[in-house]
Chain A
Amino acid sequence: MGASADNGLKIVVVGGFGVGKTTLVRSVSEIRPLNTEETMTKAGEAVDDISEVRGKSATTVAFDFGRITLDARNVLYLFGAPGQERFWFLWDRLFSGTLGAVVLVDTRRIGDSWYAIDRLEHHGTPFIVACNDFGGSAHAPQQIREALDLDPHVPLLDCDARSRASVKQVLITLVEHVKSSYGTQGPARLQVPVPHQELAL
């Protein structure tokens, strides 16, 4: 990263266990994906819904990330986040202010993605859906769209998380979608995600 870098941006890759999030991040990252974690203690109880984890005094989530230096000023971080329901109250905080999200889907386990899509829609975070190619029988895009109950304007594409070119195309598709979301609908129609007690971290 250059000495003049001054703008950090983030994109989140959400998906079920083993769907290829870390592989995807590794394919385009200029560093070996790093792993870190965040803990939330009881201090956050008043502001976060911890009904899923009642009885626990602290919760820890781990996440992987990689880095892409876009130009002299902009550096993009890609975060891989497990999509399980119980973690979402933490993702809301960790990833507020994100540019957009990629929902990575294994078409053999489509149900793993329902909750993540629901939450992204709820928060108004722009997202696209990328189906990682595991070499199984190909599903027609329309079938997948129906199975995910996906809004017609949300882009859906196939990808190979191991391929740098393929992942690059996924990210370009996302940013183009983000750009057109803000451009044509105007910021008024698009819900701006509420910064969810980010400062309490």
Chain B
Amino acid sequence: MSRPGRDDSPDRLYTLTGGRTRSAPDNPFDLVTLVVAECDPVTGMQSEHAAILRLTEHPTAVVELAAELKLPVSITKILLSDLLAAGRVSARHPRGAVSDPDVLEQVLVGLRNL
């Protein structure tokens, strides 16, 4: 299986993000932050942005977007920050602490029902 990013030249990734190699310190995205499109792709949009909007018609986690786009997670997060800043996607951040007994109980019920 070919890995995302593996065969891409660094030049291409550099161009995708306008030269940025890391997200801003306030980048809110976690691997499992769910992202939802707030608009449809429009003509002239960067193709990766358009692809993200198509993939996030339903809530989709950052790590799934990275895998589908075949881009490293860090690059995907930069693209997502741009879309978030433009109001084109919204982000559903993981809820509360993982030590929340209510969340853990919901996880247990879900697993038992598998």
Contact = CB atoms under 8 A, between A and B. Distances in A.
A171 interface: yes
Interface stretch (A48-56, A68-76, A137-145, A150-158): A68-76
Interface stretch (A5-13, A104-112, A113-121, A127-135): A5-13
Q: Is the interface of A mostly helix, strand, loop or mixed?
A: mixed
Contacts of A43: 21-22
A8 B61 contact: yes
B93 to A, nearest CB: 8
B34 A200 contact: no
A183 interface: yes
Interface residues of B, number: 46
A146 interface: no
Interface string A168-179: 100110011011
Contacts of B34: 5-8, 75
A201 B108 contact: no
A97 B98 contact: yes
A100 B5 CA distance: 28
B74 interface: yes
Contacts of A192: 99
Contact of B104 (A79, A179, A187): A179
A35 B34 CA distance: 18
B74 A74 contact: no
Interface string A185-201: 00100101000001111
Interface string B5-49: 110000000000000011101110011111000000000000000
A37 B34 CA distance: 18
Given A3-B58, A38-B73, 11 more contacts: A1-B58, A6-B95, A7-B92, A34-B67, A35-B3, A37-B73, A70-B107, A164-B114, A168-B114, A172-B108, A201-B73
Interface of B: 1, 3-6, 21-23, 25-27, 30-34, 58-61, 63-64, 66-68, 72-74, 77, 92, 94-95, 98-99, 101, 103-112, 114
Per CB-CB distance, the 8 closest pairs between chain A and chain B, nearest first, are A70-B110, A8-B32, A34-B67, A36-B67, A6-B92, A182-B99, A7-B95, A179-B104
